[in-house]
Structures are given as C-alpha cells and as structure tokens.
Structure 1
C-alpha cells in the first residue's frame, strides 16, 4: 500500500523523544472513549514502555496526532491510542500514522491487532478485518471464574 501523503506543513515521525506526553494525555483523557480511565502517570508509563510510538506534528512541531504499539518484537503487535486532534483531521494524518507504524516499521510482517468502535474504515485499508479471535475483558466487569 502506498502511503497517503499528508498535507504540506505536517510531519509524521517515530522518534519517541518528540512525543509530548502531556499533549497526548490531554486528548486521550478527555476526547477518546477508550482512554479516559488512565491517570497521566499510567499513560506516561505506557508511552515509556511502548515498543514503538509515532507522532504527527504541525508546522510548529506541536503534537497533533499519536499512535503507540506494544509487541514481543518478533511476531505480534497491538496498535493502541491512535488519534488525530479534531482541528487537524482531513490532512491524511490518521492514515500516515498507521502507515508509519505498520508498513514503515520493523513490524511490517507481524500479526497486528487492535480494538476500535468507530474507525473500521481506516484500519481496513491496512488489512485489518474480523477474525475468530477470543478476548478476555479487563477489569471488574469480568465474570468470576467458576
């Protein structure tokens, strides 16, 4: 899949030193339906220990999009926390973030997984689809083992 170009003035980079944890946390803790349960410290630890992180940056170098992955580094990876700030959508950044993470990184041949409730179209472009996978939910909503 050829990478969709981003609008001039934006950049996508996988340098972890460029990730502004406070900016990403501000979005994920208030705007993302999947990320509101974490504390800032939880999120900072997730970024610190991520296998890879990718950021989208505006012309001033401000973080306007983000993605992270966890992996065993050999065969399997999980894509998480993908977002583009509302004010910067429509510039190809979502596709560029996922492309940089999956197609341009060391995990190109891995089995990738993710969860989404609303972005199926984006991920289908990268070959994600329904599988026969099973999942054990997290937290107190899980039924007791009998």
Structure 2
C-alpha cells in the first residue's frame, strides 16, 4: 500500500525501509534505546511496517503495528525525523496507519507513550480508566 501527500510517501513495502536510519532513530528513543539492534529489526520484520519517505526518497519517518489484523493492534515506534517535524507529518502518519484497509476489522488499537498524549488524544485515543485499566495486565520478562 502507498499513500502520497505533498511529495511525501507512506508505504508498507518493507524492502524500501532504510534499516540503518530506522535503527539509529529508534536507538535514540526512550522506549527502544536498550533494545539490541537485531531485536529491533526482528520486531519490524514481524510487524506491519509503515515507512515515510521525503520527496527525495529519504527515510523521513516510521511506524509499525503489531497486529492479528482482526481483533487487536499495538501501535509502536512512531517517529518523524526532526528536520521534517512541525508540518503535520506525524499526525498524517498515524492517521494513515489507522485508516489502512489491512486493519479495518481491528477494534482495539493500543499504544504506550510518555510524551505524545496530546497528539494521540486529538486522534481519538483515550487513557484506560477504572475497571478497564485495572483489568489490563502485563508480564515483564
């Protein structure tokens, strides 16, 4: 799948992904800085990946979904290179991921963020509350 806007492209073709650029950006994040590069790349290969490319073909951003494409998805590793920020590209990237026909049946999409709640709330995400939050569990290994 491919989407175009103002010369930028979002594409799900994993062969177009710039491995080194993506790993460099993810290693600089609070959520993936301690994950070995090979593990990061394996997580990308085994997910629905969305590469964002600038008009000159540079890897300008990235996002991925861990999903069964039917009931559940986890949005992860969303970023736009600093040089391209401030143009609404991050919102476009997330909107595009959420509108992807490949996940149209998915009813629950979750994510975890420490610093982008406002962006995701504007898109429609909410923080788990009450019984739903209390019923959500994790196993750290």
Shorter-chain TM-score: what band?
0.7 to 0.9
Residue among 116, 120, 130 paired with 2:117: 120
Offset, 1:126: 2.5
Question: 2:124 and 2:87 mapped to 1: Cα distance?
Answer: 21
Offset, 1:136: 2.0
State whether structure 2 residue 113 is matched by structure 1 residue 130.
Answer: no
Gap runs ≥5 in structure 1: 140-146
Residue among 57, 78, 87 paired with 1:82: 78
RMSD of aligned C-alpha atoms? 1.7
Aligned length: 132
Question: 2:139 and 2:32 mapped to 1: Cα distance?
Answer: 15
**More strand, by proportion:** 2
**More helix, by proportion:** 2
**TM-score under structure 2 normalisation?**
0.85
Gap runs ≥5 in structure 2: none
DSSP-derived class of the 2:45 partner: helix
In structure 2, the residue matched to 1:144 is none
Q: Which runs of 4+ in 1 moved over 6 A?
A: none
- Any conservation in 1 of the 2:69–2:103 contact (CA below 8 Å)? yes
In structure 2, the residue matched to 1:59 is 55
**Structure possessing the higher relative contact order (Cα contacts under 8 Å, 6 or more residues apart):** 1
